[in-house]
């Protein structure tokens, strides 16, 4: 179908990127479970390998099922192209790979998923890259952290785990003035609640494992390119602006224009890093996205009702949900996430670490898992699990101190969720 601006979100989440299969007439996108694809002839093969023609070569690079998912996510986010990969963590490396060199750094928010903090604190150092962590509510600190070796700014639209909302317009203005891209992890918000490109973001990353797929079945990641950044202007991004030896001196920015970053992600990133999504995972994600708006509306409605109730419970010291009027981020919801503050938040229990453990162990409907964004309600104690590898200082900066429990509200009956939370919380104060 044509992905024109006249179509609404609910239509695009079902139809964007897909059409009946030309061979069979199948209306649902098939799972193209094939390693390789037959070339028409030797000349056709050469054109594909020279990036002179679009097509399918090998499923590490391109696959029709994955291509449909890539186009659908790009359309929903308002980008020009997307590259899917094996996980959200893979997407982060894929996004940074064309931008970075040894000795270069990124500016990253302190409010990030614990695994991302670890990836940026430790793992990327093996590439010779580094990260400076800054409180993204302090815009002057972000500006002051930028130096001549800074290649990008990275944040989450709705931060995991606390549900904090980043003022993307302000951060994008800082990135724009510095002549560097803003990378936004939009996993917790999804394009239904927030479209970071509309607020000035250059690149978006997703863990498609979470809300986009929404059913807890497969892992995946995606990198979306806005197509709005001039990779040639500053001379900082030679991978995109200078001749590429592997393709006989081809310059990605010159050859592919607004699609330069996307083509580089496939032709270099997937080719050499091999962080490939499998077609069956893409199929599950496509099915999930078909109901994205319906699920997100229910996540938001449930989260608002549950968090209002939680604020009144004597065992709860604080609830971080931005949709609450008591939240310092409440005014940002209308600006950044006008359809709601998502389904992710934390609660602080007065009994500290021990009460958190007891609370988690006594829940029934809520599943104790290291995931979020499922149709099921999920719970975890970050300090002992997802953020365990961080220092106490890092945990508190990320909003995951020992007294904190992260809750990902699902789409069950909200009264049942409240009843389950009540019986578990009541046991922590006995």
Burial letters for 3-27: b for 16+ Cβ neighbours within 10 Å, e otherwise? Answer: eeeebebeebbbbbbbeeeeeeeee
61 assigned to some structural domain: yes
CATH number of domain containing 354: 3.90.1150.10
228 φψ region: left (φ > 0), alpha (ψ -120 to 50), beta (else): alpha
Structural domain for 302, as ranges:
292-428
Output the six-digit token pair for 231.
């990779």
Domain count, the chain: 2
pLDDT at 392: 77
Same domain, 303 and 275: no
pLDDT at 35: 96
pLDDT at 333: 97
- Burial of 308 per CB tally in 10 Å (0-12, 13-18, 19+): middle
Same domain, 114 and 129: yes
1 assigned to some structural domain: no
* This prediction's pTM: 0.95
Same domain, 355 and 372: yes
Last residue of a domain, one of 253, 288, 323: 288
Helices (H) and strands (E) in the chain, counts: 18, 12
Same domain, 282 and 381: no
Q: 184 pairs with which residues across the strands?
A: 155, 204
4 assigned to some structural domain: no
Same domain, 320 and 208: no
Half-sphere exposure of 274 (CA within 13 A, CB side): 1
pLDDT at 1: 55
- Burial of 71 per CB tally in 10 Å (0-12, 13-18, 19+): middle
Same domain, 99 and 158: yes
Torsions phi, psi of 23, nearest 5?
-85, -40
2 assigned to some structural domain: no
Q: Of 77, 7, 76, 82, nearest to 290 (Cα)? A: 76
Length of the chain: 430
Same domain, 240 and 186: yes
pLDDT at 4: 53
pLDDT at 428: 87
Give the chain's residues under pLDDT 50: none
414 assigned to some structural domain: yes
Last residue of a domain, one of 259, 288, 317: 288
């Amino acid at each position: 179908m044509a992905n024109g601006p006249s179509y609404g979100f609910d239509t695009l989440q079902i139809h964007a990127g897909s059409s009946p299969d030309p061979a069979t007439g199948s209306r649902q996108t098939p799972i193209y479970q094939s390693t390789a694809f037959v070339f028409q002839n030797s000349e056709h093969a050469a054109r594909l390998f020279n990036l002179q023609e679009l097509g399918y070569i090998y499923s590490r690079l391109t696959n029709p099922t994955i291509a449909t998912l890539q186009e659908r996510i790009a359309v929903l986010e308002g980008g020009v192209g997307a590259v899917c990969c094996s996980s959200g963590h893979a997407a982060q490396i894929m996004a940074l790979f064309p931008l970075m060199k040894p000795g270069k750094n990124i500016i990253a928010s302190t409010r990030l998923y614990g695994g991302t903090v670890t990836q940026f604190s430790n793992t990327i150092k093996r590439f010779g890259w580094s990260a400076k962590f800054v409180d993204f509510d302090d815009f002057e600190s972000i500006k002051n952290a930028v130096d001549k070796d800074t290649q990008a700014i990275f944040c989450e639209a709705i931060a995991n785990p606390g549900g904090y909302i980043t003022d993307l317009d302000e951060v994008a203005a800082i990135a724009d003035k510095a002549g560097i891209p803003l990378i936004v992890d939009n996993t917790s918000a999804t394009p239904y609640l927030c479209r970071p490109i509309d607020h000035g973001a250059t690149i978006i990353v997703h863990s498609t494992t979470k809300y986009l797929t929404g059913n807890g079945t497969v892992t995946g990641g995606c990198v979306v390119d806005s197509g709005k950044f001039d990779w040639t202007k500053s001379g900082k991004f030679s991978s995109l602006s200078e001749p590429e030896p592997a393709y006989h001196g081809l310059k990605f920015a010159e050859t592919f224009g607004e699609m330069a970053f996307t083509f580089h992600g496939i032709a270099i990133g997937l080719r050499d890093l091999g962080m490939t999504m499998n077609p069956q995972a893409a199929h599950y994600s496509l099915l999930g996205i078909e109901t994205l708006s319906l699920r997100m509306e229910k996540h938001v409605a449930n989260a608002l009702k549950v968090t209002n109730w939680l604020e009144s419970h004597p065992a709860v010291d604080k609830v971080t949900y931005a949709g609450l009027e008591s939240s310092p981020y409440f005014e940002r919801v209308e600006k950044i996430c006008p359809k709601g503050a998502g389904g992710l938040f934390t609660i602080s229990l007065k009994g500290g670490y021990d009460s958190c453990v007891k609370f988690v162990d006594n829940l029934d409907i809520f599943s104790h898992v290291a995931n979020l964004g499922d149709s099921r309600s999920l719970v975890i104690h970050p300090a002992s699990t997802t953020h365990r590898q961080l220092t106490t200082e890092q945990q508190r900066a990320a909003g995951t101190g020992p007294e904190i429990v992260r809750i990902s509200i699902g789409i069950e009956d909200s009264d049942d969720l409240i009843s389950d939370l009540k019986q578990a919380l009541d046991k922590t104060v006995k």
